Structure 1
Amino acid sequence: MLIPWAALVLGAIAATVRTFSPSVTSGIQHLAAGVVFAAAATEVLPAIRHSGATSAILIGGFLGLATMLGVKAIGRRLPGAWSLVVLVAIDFFIDGVVVGIGFAAGEEQGTILLIALTAEILFLGLSATEELREVVKSRLAVIATVLAGGALLPLGALLGEPVHMLPPFYLTASFTFALIALLYLVTEELLVEAHQKPDSSLVTSMFFVGFLGLLALETPIG
């Protein structure tokens, strides 16, 4: 989990020293969304489909949706830029849980999810930093705040890792929870934010670059 944490800090530092154009930011968001979507489709979904536990899928799915909607509802009640900071911190924790669940299933699944969520976390770090710069004038304070939020990544991973010891029913429910969390991040955060900025064919294609790139990375050379 030090890898996405380091990406988060690098993104925060980059966002404090320069302001990225809307098209560049949107391109990064599309790229991250494609990577996360590919990870959800290729690593999490197959494990759920082969479980055969319909009730576990429904329970895990509804819990995942309720959690993500609850996070969004909390954010609406907080003032200004701090709402985004709290939302991002909670997202970090959930991302950590998802990666922990992935590594509990196997090294390959965990690695793919780690790569995907590192891209997503990098974007979230950039967004949170840009918002914080409007209310916190000290660059060091901004970076320290983002760094502190990133501490929730390993904490979430520690919580997700023991999942492999659960009975099959609860394991399937946990994977479904992770799948819904990933899809929510793609559809309700990354792409929603991306489409609020100027769009172009090049920017849109970055989603498919991310998707195909992760597929190519996990496909044996042949």
Structure 2
Amino acid sequence: MSSTVAVALGYTLIPVAAAVVGALLAIFRRPGPVLTSAVQHFAAGVVFAAAAGEILPDILDEGGVMPTLIGGFAGIAAMLLVGQLEKIAKGPVGLLTTVGVDLLIDGLVLGIAFAAGASAGILLTAALTLEVLFLGVSTAIGLGEEMSSRLKAVLATVAVVLLMPVGVLLSAPVAFAEPAVKAGLFAFGLIALLYLVTEELLVEAHEQAEDRPWVTALFFIGFLVLILLQEAVG
């Protein structure tokens, strides 16, 4: 195992812990729709900034039109498949499957980000922690409606969250890949992050509560916060 993957695995424990907290929060004190929408807007801005400020420059640095196109279209295909899976999945097994695929891809993208650089990985960890926190909330709530025991719903959520470190392990070859291959993988990661922002976080945020100006503003505040962190980290 490379040192990059080991570091990424260590940082993965942060969003994993956030998901566990989210699952427990959903069972014992579910957050209100306005708060949920606000945090999801903020998280979307943070993820978007991480994609634009960290992953995109690495694609441009690695170069290669064909690798970028191949990786990008692979990302598009994967995200469309995830979207279709979310539509047809039913019951606890379906919910756990879609959430598991999401988390596996999140872990893969996080590993790719650490391969791009420590600062990229750390900043993306912060972004994904917010996303996974509320993914834990929504998963536990969904399972709680289907299962007889709240404890079982929490344990099932915790179990599926462990797929995120598995995704990091799947990214291990990136550290040793040729520049052209890295460019393709970075393009895949970029598409995955953009899908997370546009088709998951913001869509779910708008479903939670009616738009309010201060809630909408949190998207841009999240974006600016990560940009400032990028400047501070250097």
TM range (shorter): over 0.9
Map of 1:13-24 to 2, 5 A cutoff? Answer: 13-24=24-35
Pick the structure with more helix per residue.
2
* Structure 1 segments unaligned to the other structure (5+ residues): none
**Matched-pair contact (CA < 8 Å) for 1:82–1:132:** no
- Aligned: 1:127 with 2:133: no
- How far did residue 221 of structure 1 move? 8.3
**Matched-pair contact (CA < 8 Å) for 1:30–1:207:** yes
Q: Corresponding residue for 1:201?
A: 213
CA distance in 2, matches of 1:142, 1:209: 34
- How far did residue 135 of structure 1 move? 1.1
- How far did residue 81 of structure 1 move? 5.5
Q: TM-score, normalised by structure 1?
A: 0.95
CA deviations on 1:124-145 (whole Å, 9 max, x unpaired) are 1111122222112312111111
SS, match of residue 62 in structure 2: coil
| Range with bigger deviation, 120-129 or 183-192 | 120-129
SS, match of residue 30 in structure 2: coil
Query: Aligned partner of 2:31: which letter?
Result: F
SS, match of residue 20 in structure 1: coil
Identity %: 49
Query: Aligned partner of 1:60: which letter?
Result: G
Q: Corresponding residue for 1:192?
A: 203
* Structure 2 segments unaligned to the other structure (5+ residues): 1-11
CA distance in 1, matches of 2:222, 2:95: 25
CA distance in 2, matches of 1:187, 1:98: 16
- How far did residue 76 of structure 1 move? 2.0
**Matched-pair contact (CA < 8 Å) for 1:33–1:186:** yes
- Aligned: 1:62 with 2:69: no
CA distance in 2, matches of 1:85, 1:221: 36
**Matched-pair contact (CA < 8 Å) for 2:46–2:127:** yes
- Aligned: 1:211 with 2:223: yes
Q: Corresponding residue for 1:26?
A: 37
Q: TM-score, normalised by structure 2?
A: 0.90
RMSD of aligned residue pairs (Cα, Å): 1.6
Query: Aligned partner of 1:114: which letter?
Result: T
CA distance in 2, matches of 1:89, 1:28: 22
**Matched-pair contact (CA < 8 Å) for 1:36–1:182:** yes
